[in-house]
């Protein structure tokens, strides 16, 4: 068993608009199904927070592709670990806009009203994404 989970944060490029996001999600869902990768992507006006799950090789190769993508920058790994089961296995890439994130949930994981994933411990970034997936379960595009 070589299942791993990787969580990273990055800053949106100034020209990363709604059309760019649609292309990213289209590519993600098309490619991830073939690669056996699942996960969740949260987008705020300032950052992307993404979790990738899959085989060690598939996750590492995809991460190398993602960090070279000019639609974002300052890509930092928050958490990388081996897992025994997937937590986002229902989604080739679930998506949640941070606009939809409940203020109470944000405050659970943040010392300020604005979430800053760069300042979050890896475990907190993981727990935040799990809570997000649970609260938006019915409404996460696969
Ligand atoms: P295609 O799907 O064939 O490309 C589709 C369209 O996107 C084309 O119009 C192409 O011009 C455009 N495009 C592709 N790459 C770029 C680029 N680097 N810059 C501008 N336009 C581009 N990919 C995944 O496969 N899985 C993921 O989970 C994933 N998550 C991502 C998360 C973030 C925050 C970002 C920024 C990117 C993510 N990507 C993901 C995209 C990844 O970086 C590659 O762009 C993608 O894997 C290329 O797929 P493809 O070769 O099949 O391109």
Domains and CATH numbers, the chain: 3-139 (3.30.70.100)
CA distance 4 to 67: 18
- Collect the ranges in the chain with pLDDT lower than 50: 142
Q: Which of 75, 67, 66, 63 is nearest to 10 (CA)?
A: 75
Name the residue of 9, 16, 24 whose CB sits within 8 Å of the most ligand 1 atoms, as the mutation to test its pocket.
24
pLDDT for 55 equals: 98
Atom 52 of ligand 1 has which residue's CA nearest to it? 27
pLDDT for 112 equals: 87
Atom from ligand 1 closest to the CA of residue 72: 36
Atom 27 of ligand 1 has which residue's CA nearest to it? 28
Residue pair 101/117 in contact by the 8 Å Cβ criterion: no
pLDDT for 140 equals: 62
pLDDT for 141 equals: 61
pTM assigned to the model:
0.94
């Amino acid at each position: 068993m070589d299942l791993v989970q990787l969580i990273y944060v990055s800053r949106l490029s100034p020209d990363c608009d709604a059309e760019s996001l649609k292309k990213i999600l289209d590519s993600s869902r098309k490619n991830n199904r073939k690669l056996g990768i699942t996960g969740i992507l949260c987008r705020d006006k300032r950052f992307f927070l993404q979790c990738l799950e899959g085989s060690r090789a598939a996750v590492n190769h995809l991460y190398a592709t993602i960090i070279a993508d000019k639609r974002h920058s300052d890509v930092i790994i928050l958490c990388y670990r081996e897992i025994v089961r997937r937590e986002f296995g229902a989604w080739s890439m679930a998506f949640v806009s941070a606009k939809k994130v409940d203020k109470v949930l944000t405050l659970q994981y943040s010392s300020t009203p604005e979430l800053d994933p760069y300042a979050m411990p890896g475990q907190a970034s993981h727990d935040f994404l799990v809570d997000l997936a649970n609260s938006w379960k019915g409404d996460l595009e696969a």
